[in-house]
Structure 1
Amino acid sequence: MLLILSPSKTIQESSQSPVVPVSQPELLDQSAVLVAQLAKLTAQKLQVLMGTSEKLTQLNYQRYQAWQAPLPESAPPAILAFQGDVYTGLNAEQMTASQLKYAQDHLRILSGLYGVLRPLDAMLPYRLEMGTKMKTSQCASLYEFWGEQLTDSINAQLTATKSKRLVNLASNEYFKSLKVKRLVADVVTPVFKDASNGKYRMVSVFAKKARGTMAAWMIRKKIKSAQKLIAFAEDGYYYDEASSTESKPVFLRD
């Protein structure tokens, strides 16, 4: 199976070198097109586009001015650079070389700037959410900019790994960047709910971490079939057959 995750807003500027070599993102030429446009914006226009604080805007302004391709060998790999709740759950720092290599083939991270990232792709820090209303001369949004390229990339890896299932552990904002009807695999979207006031509901911060935790579990166990997903029982979650469907298995936590 192939897994997909969202990126995170929080990114480390540097990280320890992984125990396996880093790679270059496959859609880097397209990233360069976006950076060329972003680098032309003043800090004020960049702030309006991204809705960020003055301090964060200045940081990202400097990032885009200094961005270069190909990415330097010193750039951290995506799986270690991204922080936040999902990546706390993923805990990639504790993965072995064998697990990182497996993740390289079976995990993809969707990105507003890089399109699709493999875990060990080098990555310079950035801020560009997929939902940003960034216009180019050819399109009105990042969704239009990436078009079918992300779907083509995912399909190529599904075929290469002979995967019949795509496990969607990404947010709606990023999953929308894929053309679902064109995918060459069935999509399975796990749902995580926590007990709250006598009911089970999705709590965003907990659900994000659970997505990363499930991804890490699948990598460690080398899960290859959707049927085996129901065995997930990390951090107190358990499979709830009554509220699950084949495409949306539900995991509850009391």
Structure 2
Amino acid sequence: MLILLPPSEGKAFPGDGPALDPASLSLPELADARESVMTALEKVCARPLEEARTVLGLTPRQAAAVQRNRELRTAATLRAADLYTGVLYDVLRLPELLAGPSAALVAESVLVFSGLWGVLRPVDAVPPYRLAMNVSLPPLGPLGAFWRPRLTETLTTLAEGRLVVDCRSTAYATAFRPGPGVAARTATVRVLRQTVVDGVPRRSAVSHLAKAVRGAVAHSLLAAGATPRTPGELATVLADLGHRVELTAPARGGGPHVLNVIVPG
């Protein structure tokens, strides 16, 4: 099983580990691409503050992130499991999982997508940074488009024979789109709120709540040590773990399944 996650805008700061060692990061075949993005980001952040902020899509209150980006090679690091904060990661509780009996499953199964690093495993140590996947970073261009060809071969190979549980947001889904072989074993997690109006159930998509629900789904699977192999098995396991889920077959040939997680309004 692979669980694909977005990062979070919020990140723990400062780190308490040694400076970045790019060679220590998992998926070393991405090293050249990571170096290209890091170099481009450093050049943007060497510009006047307001100009760098504009390129990165940061507000004035987020200006400190520019300075952090300038210190990527020397700043103290944290494990990705400790770095990412926010709703999804608060519910997922990766540090707790890595300290428990499911540690090996967590380290092997979880992939966090990143505009700077491509993808990270929870144990990868990186410095605090700020670079969203929807940024167009000179001279590389839109990062989703930059990463897609560089991630496709690596992740397609990694996903061979494995169920893929896709909990990514739209911006990060652009960086890797499973081909037909992987898509057949992929379940995209969607969260729907159900309310009852005049006795009639109505469902609607949610955004902020979806982060917490996806974190809960991932935590349930990992804490239980579950290793489903197909979207159907995934739906059964989650139902057994107390989630209300409905699996929908691909709308067109070659696409992923959709796993609807239903929450009350």
TM-score bracket, normalised by the shorter chain, equals 0.7 to 0.9
Q: Give the alignment's TM-score, normalised by structure 1.
A: 0.82
Retained in 2: the 8 A contact 1:191–1:248? yes
Instruction: Give CA deviations for 1:26-66 in whole Å, capped at 9, x if unaligned.
Output: 33442232222222232122111122122312x12211221
Deviation of residue 117 (structure 1)? 0.6
Retained in 2: the 8 A contact 1:148–1:179? no
Deviation of residue 4 (structure 1)? 0.3
AA matched with 1:192: V
Q: How does 1:1-254 map to 2 (within 5 A)?
A: 1-14=1-14, 23-25=24-26, 26=28, 27-41=30-44, 42=47, 43-57=49-63, 59-68=64-73, 75-95=77-97, 96-136=99-139, 139-159=140-160, 162-163=161-162, 165-181=163-179, 184=182, 186=184, 187-196=186-195, 198=197, 199-221=202-224, 222-225=226-229, 226-230=231-235, 231-232=237-238, 237-240=243-246, 244-245=248-249, 247-254=257-264
Retained in 2: the 8 A contact 1:105–1:157? no
Q: What percent of counterpart residues are identical?
A: 22
Retained in 2: the 8 A contact 1:4–1:110? yes
Deviation of residue 77 (structure 1)? 0.9
In structure 1, distance between residues paired with 2:102 and 2:58: 36
Other structure's SS at 2:119 match: strand
Deviation of residue 12 (structure 1)? 0.3
AA matched with 2:126: M
Unaligned runs of 5+ in 2: 18-23, 251-256
Retained in 2: the 8 A contact 1:6–1:174? yes
Other structure's SS at 2:136 match: coil
Larger displacement relative to structure 2 (206-215 or 96-105): 96-105
AA matched with 2:110: L
Deviation of residue 145 (structure 1)? 2.1
Q: CA RMSD in A?
A: 2.6
In structure 1, distance between residues paired with 2:213 and 2:16: 25
In structure 2, distance between residues paired with 1:183 and 1:154: 12
Q: Give the alignment's TM-score, normalised by structure 2.
A: 0.79
In structure 2, distance between residues paired with 1:180 and 1:202: 23
Retained in 2: the 8 A contact 1:90–1:212? yes
Instruction: Give CA deviations for 1:83-135 in whole Å, capped at 9, x if unaligned.
Output: 11111221123213442321121111111000011111112111111111223
In structure 2, distance between residues paired with 1:185 and 1:193: 22
How many residues are matched? 238
User: Structure 1's 62 and 197: CA in aligned 2 closer, same or farther, altered over 3 A?
Assistant: farther
AA matched with 1:250: N
Retained in 2: the 8 A contact 1:14–1:81? no
Other structure's SS at 2:179 match: helix
In structure 1, distance between residues paired with 2:263 and 2:214: 14
User: Structure 1's 16 and 211: CA in aligned 2 closer, same or farther, altered over 3 A?
Assistant: farther
